[in-house]
Structure 1
Amino acid sequence: MRLLLVEDDVLLGQGLVTALTREGYAVDWLQSALDARRAVAVTHPDILVLDWQLPDGTGIELLKGWRREGLAAPVLMLTARDALDDRITGLDSGADDYLVKPFESREMLARLRALSRRQLAQVEPVFSNGPLCLDPARHQVTLGGEPVALSRREFALLQELIRQPDRVLTREQLVERLYSWGEELESNALEVHVHHLRKKLGSEVIKTLRGVGYVMPKLS
């Protein structure tokens, strides 16, 4: 899942990137309102984490502009402002959730998982398709009740596919959601991850539509 982080505090930003990357997000980290505005104009993040106070503006004004332009992605607002009026302002400006600094990274990750479920109209916190289950909170995959060990990137790829069974995702869409800007990507990296998932989960779990992309069919 592609996540845009807009945070100008370097130490906090570095810590968040580490925690989010470990969770499986492809993180793009920016530190100014101008860069964030430009990024959203040309990319399509799945979810955003946005600081209120930035060196060249506010996250509130950014968010208002994005919502007017039709941005539908969930937004988690970060701020040191904890007054009731500030929380109301953030939510009324288009934020889907509001987290007051300082905070524990575990709480932020849980809030992001909740926003993702809400975006997909998903009630259960675990994705399932037939005998295959993926638990984002525990970073655990089981097949027929038996745990399956996956690498971080394999887990992220499986999560993208199991979120939307029967929906074809192109190679370009998957690469965009799995890799952040500047990451070195070998030409066959995605195909290698697909191959490994098939070895671990069975050849029927991921289907290739030649010249189109990949799809996870509904499993029985």
Structure 2
Amino acid sequence: MRILITDTTWTMAALAHDLHEAGFLVTLAADGAELLEYLRTGQQDAVLIDPDLPDMAARDLLRQVRETDARVPLCLVQAGATPPDRQQAMTEGADDVIDWPRQAGGDLMAQLRAYVRRARGFARPEIGLGGLTLDLDLRQLRAGGTLVPLTRLEYEIVESLALRRGAVMTREEIMLQLYAWQDEPDAKILDVYLCRIRSKLALAGAADSLIATSYSHGYRLAASPEGLALAA
């Protein structure tokens, strides 16, 4: 999951570090304007902002994020937030206020993953993929009781497609999801990743059509029951 976060204080830097350690892909924005630019040019799974911004008031950024993307989970990070603080932030567009670092730990990470999957229409952390099970909390893909051995980036590709099941992700969107404005390798590496993923899915018994290629457009995870069925 890709989390976009303002990197404006040591508190946010510490939060970004913990998110990365928990397996999230983190994009850092130096201020509100940069965060909005990142949000406009690439898909983000959640947005976390600090009220101490160098270029605008937090309430203005909350409003502009909502105008840019009405669905993305959006949280304000504020130490010692009071009930009136929480009410005001949610009135201005936030889904919640994170009292960091008091809320540090696994509960916060589980909470963020829950916000993301619910925004994508999934009530439970497990997504069924034609006899396979993707566990968003454990970050695992299983065939029955057997773990499908995906690397970190292979898992991120499967998760990104699963959260957008039925919709096409372009090659550029997938690469941006993986590397997020960092130095990217040759785009052909995506073909290598997908070849490896398909081979591992086939060994696990998944149908060949589970990850479909939309020629000249990108890739999608099959949404129909036929596309999600196990191979005979």
- TM-score clears 0.5: yes
AA partner of residue 127 (structure 1): I
Report matched runs for 1:12-161 at 5 Å.
12-68=11-67, 71-102=70-101, 103-161=103-161
> Residues 42, 156 of structure 1: CA spacing in aligned structure 2 closer, same or farther, 3 A cutoff?
closer
Task: Answer yes or no: is the 8 Å Cα contact 1:5–1:27 preserved in 2.
Answer: yes
After superposition, the C-alpha distances for 1:102-153 in whole angstroms (9 at most, x for unaligned) are 1314233212111112212211111111211111111221013311121111
Q: Residues 43 and 173 of structure 2 are in contact (CA less than 8 Å); yes or no, is this contact kept in structure 1?
A: no
Extract structure 1 runs of 4+ deviating beyond 6 A: none
Aligned residue in 1 for 2:183: 183
CA contact (8 A) 1:51 1:59 kept: yes
Q: Normalising by structure 2, what TM-score?
A: 0.83
In structure 1, distance between residues paired with 2:34 and 2:217: 33
Determine if the alignment matches structure 1 residue 206 to structure 2 residue 214.
no
205-214 or 150-159, which deviates more: 205-214
Contact 1:4 1:29 survives alignment (8 Å):
yes
Tell me: CA distance 1:181–1:70, structure 2 relative to 1, closer, same or farther (3 Å). Answer: closer
Seq. identity, %: 28
The one-letter code sitting in structure 2 at the alignment partner of 1:219 is: L
Q: CA RMSD in A?
A: 2.3
TM-score normalised by length of structure 1: 0.87
Distance 2:25 2:63 in 1: 24
Structure 1 unaligned segments of length 5 or more: list them: none
Match of 1:166 in 2: 166
Deviating more after overlay: 128-137 vs 16-25:
16-25
Q: How many residues align?
A: 219
Paired residue secondary structure (2:169): coil
Q: Secondary structure at the match of 1:49?
A: strand
Which secondary structure does the structure 1 equivalent of 2:93 belong to?
coil
User: CA 1:171–1:24 in 2, change beyond 3 Å: closer, same or farther?
Assistant: farther
Report how far residue 86 of structure 1 moved.
0.6
User: Which of these residues, 205, 228, 232, is aligned with residue 219 of structure 1?
Assistant: 228
Q: Output the CA distance in 2 between the equivalents of 1:65 and 1:14.
A: 23
Question: What code does the residue aligned with 2:131 have?
Answer: P
Aligned residues of 2:117 and 2:163 also touching (Cα < 8 A): no
Distance in 2 between residues matched to 1:159 and 1:143, nearest whole Å: 15
Return 5+ residue gaps in structure 2 as ranges: none
| CA separation of 1:117 and 1:100: change in aligned 2, threshold 3 A | same
